[in-house]
Amino acid sequence: MSQTSDSPAMARVGKQMAWKTKWLLVSLCVLWALCDSARADEFSQVSLYSVRMFSYGLLTVDTRLGDIQIEGWDEPRLEIEAEKVVRARSKEAAKPLYERLTVVLEGQDKRILLRTLYPPRRLWRPFRGEAQLTVNYRIKMPFDANLVLKCVDGDVCVRGVEGKEQILVNYGDVEIDIPSIDRLRSLHALTWLGYVQSNLHGEGNAGFGPRISYWNPSGAQDILVKVRMGGVFVYSDE
């Protein structure tokens, strides 16, 4: 009887030990990957892209890892500087890593899509090597065009854009310079964990779920910013 009653308990203990062993191995693999990445150096490769873009057009940016700087200018053209940054042991070892990152620019005039394509993820190692592959963007777009941006991990800075803006970032900080407060109709900025600051009325909040809002019925520009973990800073030099 005692052996029969102990068998379920022994089975549970065995499963718990198996799970603990599995997570220990996963932790060791992650630690090894971090140590291996720490021994590598950074190398970069810059590419330039340009396409015609009209006023009140829409630029959609969809990327995963990297910082993004966007500036509005008075030209009917979109210019993009894409910097691929990889971690490798040597310059020669970095070359095949550049090829694993693809910058895709589609459309022109009224609708343009900018995407970063990464290698397909493997089910058993979905994030392998992703920390070694980054694309930083420096973008110039018509100041009165519209922007939709999605980024998983990276800092975003937008200056001099008077069109509508929708910015979604999982992890990182977002900084927005509003050219004209008089043209701003609505501002909604929030983060799940972090801080939100603005000099429009001296608002500032931090912690869980901070947010700020602004409404001007006579304005025309709408800005929506959502960050999962990080900060939002909205300001104007006026």
DSSP collapsed to 3 states, the chain: CHHHHHHHHHHHHHHHHHHHHHHHHHHHHHHHHHHHHHCCEEEEEEEEEEEEEEEEEEEEEEEEECCEEEEEECCCEEEEEEEEEEEECCHHHHHHHHHCCEEEEEEEEEEEEEEEECCCCECCECCCCHHHEEEEEEEEEECCCEEEEEEEECCEEEECCCCCEEEEEEEEEEEEECCCCCCEEEEEEEEEEEEEEECCCCCEEEEECCEEEEECCCCCEEEEEEEEEEEEEEECCC
* Res 24: pLDDT: 56
pLDDT on residue 16: 47
pLDDT digits (tens, 9 = 90+) for 207-238: 677 888 999 999 999 999 999 999 999 998 87
Among 45-49, 159-163, 187-191, 201-205, the least confident range: 201-205
* Structure confidence at residue 9 (pLDDT): 47
Q: Give the pLDDT of residue 25.
A: 52
Least confident of 148-157, 186-195, 197-206: 197-206
**pLDDT above 90 covers what percent of the chain?**
60
Check pLDDT > 60 for residue 193: yes
Q: What is the chain's length? A: 238
Please report, for the chain, the start and end positions of each structural domain, with discontinuous segments joined by +.
Answer: 1-39, 42-235
Span 15-41, average pLDDT: 53
Cα Rg of the chain, angstroms: 23
The answer to whether residues 80 and 137 touch, using CB atoms and an 8 Å cutoff, is yes
pLDDT recorded at residue 97: 87
Q: Residue 38: what pLDDT?
A: 52
Count CB neighbours of 33 within 10 A: 16
Higher pLDDT, 90 or 126: 90
- pLDDT greater at residue 72 or residue 202: 72
Question: What value does the mean pLDDT of the chain take?
Answer: 84
> What pLDDT, in 10s, does the model give residues 168-177?
999 999 999 9
Could you give the CA distance from residue 92 to residue 99 in angstroms, rounded to a whole number?
12
Residues 6+ apart with CB under 8 A from 78: 49, 50, 51, 52, 53, 59, 112, 139, 140, 141, 142
Mean pLDDT for the stretch of residues 31-36: 52
According to the model, what pLDDT value does residue 34 have?
Answer: 53
| Segment 57-82 mean pLDDT | 97
pLDDT tens by residue, 97-148: 888 899 999 999 999 999 999 887 554 444 444 557 899 999 999 999 999 9
CA angle 59, 62, 64 (to 5 degrees): 150
The model carries a pTM of: 0.78
- Stretch 136-162: mean pLDDT: 97
**Cβ–Cβ under 8 Å, residues 98 and 133:** no
